[in-house]
Amino acid sequence: MAKIFYETDANLDLIKDKTIGIIGFGSQGHAHALNLRDSGCNVMVGLYPGSKSWQQAQEAGVRVGTVEEVAREADIVMILAPDQAQRQIYVDSIEPGLRAGKMLMFAHGFNIHFNQIVPPADVDVTMIAPKAPGHRMREMFVNGVGVPALIAVHQNATENAQQIALAYGKGVGCAKAGIIETTFAEETETDLFGEQTVLCGGVTALVKTAFETLVQAGYQPEIAYFECMHELKLLVDLMHEGGMAYMRYSISDTAEYGDYTRGPKVIDDHVRQQMKQVLNNIRSGAFAREWIIENQAGRPSFLALRRQNQEHMIERVGAELRGMMPWLQKREAGPATQAPHAPAPATAEPADGDRGYRSPTAAFSPPVEPYTPPEEETPPTPSYGSTYQPYRPTTPAEGEDDDRSFQ
């Protein structure tokens, strides 16, 4: 069984006299910074000059400086920039400010586990990974409760790394709910696997395939959307509240019988074997190599796949149907090539108003095939060379460099 730490296991006094630097002030960054500040800690936020978050952080009542300044002054440096930006930020701005006895922290283990960041041996390297989005983490803290988190220690130079990390976890409120002990390897590999096979890749592929099957069989796209995507939230909420048993208790007997008898026909042994292959590619470093090279190449495959998926019929139909639901806050994705925080377009409709339903299957076959991992099992290796050739559009669309610099 996993070891779980709570508030009585953590001593906040261990970090009360330290300066804590938070690199980034996005979803996670603002929650960590404000929760620590409200716990009585001395917090600084590190941002690049000209960041739109600079004023927001100042207005929230925390000190702000450049990443270099924060790295020099802080005793604990928590990096909360996007995975793909962390290595460059570390090399350019954080590493020069590290000295013996400091602590480098992460909320996800990707760059440590796959050797993109290799800290000096005389600093502690730890992880506190809250299992909730930043806005929910902050909301729960303000309400006097916390969200669960994971803790891991990669380097224990001071021989007190875990206790300091636990104090940090208490400062951000996670010790109220429980902090589960893990390793950088376990957190990174399970996180990527869950995202790829269930939470993101698996569920979106399942929804799109079911939607396409109904539309190709002649059913109205609006009905297919309701049955395959809209109602998904209702069932996920039930599972979130009480597990699969509570979800099945809440649905009809007809639906429950279909669950038991047809679900395994869709998610069969072939899918299980594919999941094992996905896991093998994560553990071997193959996925990490692919994603690192994709970013180095300017993200051509990523941007093309993003654009194609945003143009899928289910997105067009969904935008129209969500317009019938005034209780929903409007959240539309921006253009596939824009920066992540640019304003969304005023409308998702084509200029001519054509919904594109004359050929129901036209939007279902993207010309770009996603990367297919090799069939053989690849043993772990410290080398990160790759022969993967990312897709490159013949004529890149304007703005496709898509600079994903952190906030």
**Which residues are part of the catalytic machinery?**
108
State the Rg of the chain over Cα: 23
How many angstroms separate the Cα of 77 from the Cα of each of 24, 59, 73, 105, 109? 11, 22, 9, 6, 15
Give dist(CA 201, CA 207) in Å, integer.
Answer: 10
How many angstroms separate the Cα of 69 from the Cα of each of 176, 214, 378? 32, 57, 42
> Encoding tokens for residue 158?
């001071």
H or E stretch covering 126: strand 124-130
Give dist(CA 260, CA 244) in Å, integer.
Answer: 12
Q: What are phi and psi of 44, to 5 degrees?
A: -125, 145
Q: Between helices 286-296 and 269-284, what is the axis angle to 10°?
A: 70
Indicate the Cα dihedral angle 104, 106, 112, 114, nearest 10°.
-160
Give dist(CA 192, CA 315) in Å, integer.
Answer: 25
Q: What are phi and psi of 149, to 5 degrees?
A: -145, 165
End-to-end CA gap in the chain: 38
Q: 3-state DSSP call for residue 307?
A: helix
Cβ atoms 39, 15 nearer than 8 A: no
Give dist(CA 70, CA 318) in Å, integer.
Answer: 44
Measured at the CA of 290, the angle between CA 392 and CA 201, to 5 degrees, comes to: 90
66 forms beta bridges with 47
Give dist(CA 284, CA 281) in Å, integer.
Answer: 5
Give dist(CA 84, CA 405) in Å, integer.
Answer: 9
